[in-house]
Structure 1
């Protein structure tokens, strides 16, 4: 049975999509079967996996409105090594259309149920806002991986996210919990980042992953080539860190 994880943070620009595509590629590299679900209407995870969002015959929008199954809509991103359920601008309309529908927050969960045996991991790239799309992701997930920068404002955003997760856990999804916090865009030369990193470890303990993703130019360049950094330049520091993170996640899941 697949482990379903949301990559979520209510603060924008923290590297959610970079984390999603590189973790998916890293997990594929260590022999895991992966489905990446792009729940962001911008479709950045789709493009960053090497799939042209403008040419998608079917997308996550069709799956949420129940006009297609995950098997029909998911495509294999050959260079990246995993399947992706892509998104494009149509998905922005799903927000409005879902409001009046029954089981509107359970659509993704129900769609993923038939394919759970086909994958080891399902990763969901959530938009930054707490929208109906994010709620679908949180309702279908076993846990949340939170990428965060070690900066003061990131701590404030984390408080909001933890409260949201508690509410979803209490009312909609009893399985939901924080799997771990991933420190991204980390620069050890900045004293504040080291201080925030220590605060995180003091407060959240073993919920903070050991892997740390450094600030890395090659990771930033990779999306313009339509590839995860792990595939674009496997020897780059950021790519190596993501593969280490993938291994750590697999080990952590086996002991859960």
Structure 2
């Protein structure tokens, strides 16, 4: 199973929107997909129509060792896409995990002990921070995907994330790699947007996906209906961009592992 953390410590860059719609696109192309919601806000869970009352077990229980992946996983409305939802209990996990043995490897241990052959791909929606939840995600995965909003301050956040990435790789996960950077909230009418995109591509080269995700009202509306944008309006510019991004992502994945 290929595992990918969708991470950026800056909020509002499109992490959850990217996680939901990439997971949906992967499932739609025949890849059995698991989405783990590791954000205390639980927006990925809400965006896939999982009501709070239905989150009997969550990623918090998984991290604390109170349940297995099989106990926590829920089938979403999207065929081929399962989710482990998040609850507000995750808000206290950062403090609780400090006293727990192997606190940086809790998610990895849970994934290794599960029958992950059920899925081809696992995506993890990380919180907007570089705390223990995000560290757990980075330790548990093979690669990270970074959604990057096309604005000046996003570049500063990217440098901090890359520093954390290097520390995690040096101390805990030497096989960790950057799958790519996805430019989000792209507005062709804004010169600054184009300048940021050019700077990121000049700095990171082929690590930056060719597909850019535009600002699109349908992407914002879809979560309120509890469905991914790809289902809410599959022909909108945002949905078409995420399908293109999914195709790029699939091309970067090891074919043997994806097909396993």
> Do Structure 1 and Structure 2 share a fold, with TM-score over 0.5?
yes
Within a 5 Å distance, the mapping from 1:31-50 to structure 2 comes to 31-50=30-49
Aligned to 2:104: 105
1:134-178, CA deviations, whole angstroms, 9 ceiling, x for partnerless residues?
Answer: 111111011110001121111111000000000000011111121
1:74-120, CA deviations, whole angstroms, 9 ceiling, x for partnerless residues?
Answer: 00002464100000111112222211010111010011122332211
1:96 is paired with a residue whose SS is: helix
Structure 2 unpaired stretches of 5+: none
2:115 is paired with a residue whose SS is: helix
Aligned to 2:2: 3
Aligned to 1:96: 95
Contact 1:214–1:237 (Cα < 8 Å) also in 2 = yes
* CA RMSD across the alignment: 1.4
1:200-256, CA deviations, whole angstroms, 9 ceiling, x for partnerless residues?
Answer: 111111100011111100000000001111111111110011011111111111479
Contact 2:31–2:80 (Cα < 8 Å) also in 1 = no
Aligned to 2:154: 154
How many angstroms apart in 2 are the aligned matches of 1:244 and 1:122? 19
Runs of 4+ in structure 1 deviating by more than 3 angstroms, as ranges, are: none
How many angstroms apart in 1 are the aligned matches of 2:80 and 2:44? 14
How many angstroms apart in 1 are the aligned matches of 2:218 and 2:191? 24
How many angstroms apart in 2 are the aligned matches of 1:80 and 1:42? 24
Contact 1:41–1:92 (Cα < 8 Å) also in 2 = yes
How many angstroms apart in 2 are the aligned matches of 1:80 and 1:231? 12
Structure 1 unpaired stretches of 5+: none
Distance 1:255 1:117, change over 3 A: closer
